[in-house]
A and B are shown apart, each in its own frame.
Chain A
Amino acid sequence: MSQTKTSKPSAVQTTGHAWDGDIQEFNNPLPSWWLWAFYATVVFAVVYWVFYPAWPVAGSYTKGVMNDITFVDSNGKSKTTHWNTRSALLRDLQESKTAVLSRDYLNKVAAASYAEILGDPEMMAFTRSMARGIFGDNCAPCHGSGGAGVIGLFPNLADDDWLWGGSVGDIQATVKNGHFGFMPAFGEVFDDAQLDDIASYVLSLSGHPVDAAASRRGKAIFQTNEGGCYYCHTHQATGLKSQGAANLTDQIWTIADVNGAADLAGKKERVKQVIANGVQRRMPSWSERLSAAQIKLLTVYVHELGGGQ
């Protein structure tokens, strides 16, 4: 194509350079739409300088005119500043349509009791949609977007088993203050046979067909001060809520992946590992990161996830 073009005589002027003897360059004018768009950006820039912060002057800068922002500060006082992104954000939070709408709902939910929220379909609909986002941003990385958790690391919130209690009050306290779940490691305290016995007893509690003699020996450690397991797991092995101790009598396992093991020996090995190594799980406190109203929404959401108590 270039060949046909250069071989034809053209009305367009060349720049006058010639490389390698015969390579020349056309001097076409810029397309007019491009040129006008360029002039428009120049005009836009000059207008922008007038209305927005732009040029540095001494220790300050031109602040822009006729573009002030008024917002209400944390003390309830009205404040007017030149245009800037921070004030624009505050105004957006206070005046934009969606922010006002969600704030009205948020205030309504914040003022209501848990019983009122749970009984009001409109407040519940708002809670579900708003808390879903809060949960996704803050809780889902550990507990999973559906609340299923990770066995061994983070509790499942979508079942009806609650380590630290499943009432709205318990859940709110958990979200607000966080938790430190701790079980000591018994690997140094007991020998392998004893750990085996304790694991057998623990599995027998949830109806696994373990060796009865081993289970009896394990029970003697579990239920006495020798092991002291009952301090937190209780004599009934249903777990003490104040310690976040697991209920060992059900089929729900949050630390040892018992249900994931193929046979009884595998299940026992997994329980044994937990007894030997102990457990340290920490949930952060959210009282500084989330507002009281946000924590309330989350509480209701989490309560609903697992069919709370």
Chain B
Amino acid sequence: MIKHESIETNAALLVILTLIVVSIGGLVEIVPLFYIDDTVEDVEGVRPYTALELRGRDIYQREGCYLCHSQMIRPFRDELLRYGHYSLAAESQYDHPFQWGSKRTGPDLARVGGKYSNAWHVAHLNNPRDVVPQSIMPNYPWLLQTDLDYSDIQERMRALKRTGVPYSETQQEYDANVAEFGAAAADQLDILHAEENLMHQALTEDYDGQRGRITEMDALVAYLQVLGTMVDFSKYDEGYFADFR
């Protein structure tokens, strides 16, 4: 048996034993989620982000949006009334890292997609007080002025592919995506065509209202507008989701 005194007077031993004790809590809480069968709900519609949405998500993280905005609607009645259906684990299965957050200085954004127009997001990100006088959110004027750098989009997608996000590079992977997500979505997940897909989405949808120009605003608004829109909840019985807990 190790004596109290010998632990306290040996810094290395103290650090090692502390790590072991602390990690037990983490292991017991986290590891079972990887093998418990009903951790992630079986739902249709959740797909990885398109190239443009992915760049928007990177900007979301770069600007630290997650510090004030959560993306996790909890199963409580007040949250349901304000934000919509509670978040499913399946909805963040392709998020690395997930953006659940832990602080709501601003509102939850898990279902902000489609809630407001693109023009609202542009005006609001540029200067929130133009549309919400009482807002304390900072201005992000550079989003509208900075051209989006997407030169490394393929590398970004490859990096996520390593973590298990099914972006495709080979014909075989592409075919698997067609079977899983449908042809239209599978085209968007093709790493080799990432630049042209990104340009096409940004120029046709023109999120930032500046024709012919692809800015960081285009990417961020594209990302915000897809949040929480992938699952069609009218297709599922409410009791179905309860079976996964």
Contact = CB atoms under 8 A, between A and B. Distances in A.
Contact of A282 (B37, B117, B234): B117
Contacts of A93: 77, 80
A150 B131 contact: yes
A282 B242 contact: no
B243 interface: yes
A160 B131 CA distance: 21
Contacts of A92: 76-77
Interface string B196-218: 00000000000001000000000
A85 B36 contact: no
A56 interface: yes
A280 interface: yes
Interface residues of B, number: 42
A96 B116 CA distance: 32
Interface in A13-46: 15-17
B120 A90 contact: no
Interface in B201-245: 209, 234, 237-239, 241-245
Size category of the A interface is 35 or more
B99 interface: no
Contacts of B35: 59
Interface string A166-199: 0000000000000000000000000000000000
Nearest to A282: B117
Contacts of B234: 288
A92 B74 CA distance: 14
B32 A71 contact: no
B243 A81 contact: yes
Given A59-B37, A81-B242, 15 more contacts: A56-B32, A61-B36, A71-B242, A86-B75, A87-B242, A89-B76, A89-B77, A90-B238, A138-B115, A140-B132, A141-B120, A145-B134, A153-B120, A154-B131, A281-B119
29 contacts: A15-B5, A17-B5, A17-B9, A59-B35, A73-B238, A73-B239, A74-B237, A81-B243, A84-B245, A85-B75, A86-B75, A86-B242, A86-B244, A89-B75, A89-B77, A90-B242, A92-B76, A140-B132, A141-B120, A141-B124, A142-B131, A150-B130, A150-B131, A153-B130, A153-B131, A281-B117, A284-B115, A284-B117, A288-B234
Interface of A: 15-17, 53, 56, 59-61, 71, 73-75, 77, 79, 81, 84-90, 92-93, 96, 99, 133, 137-138, 140-142, 144-145, 150, 153-154, 280-284, 288-289
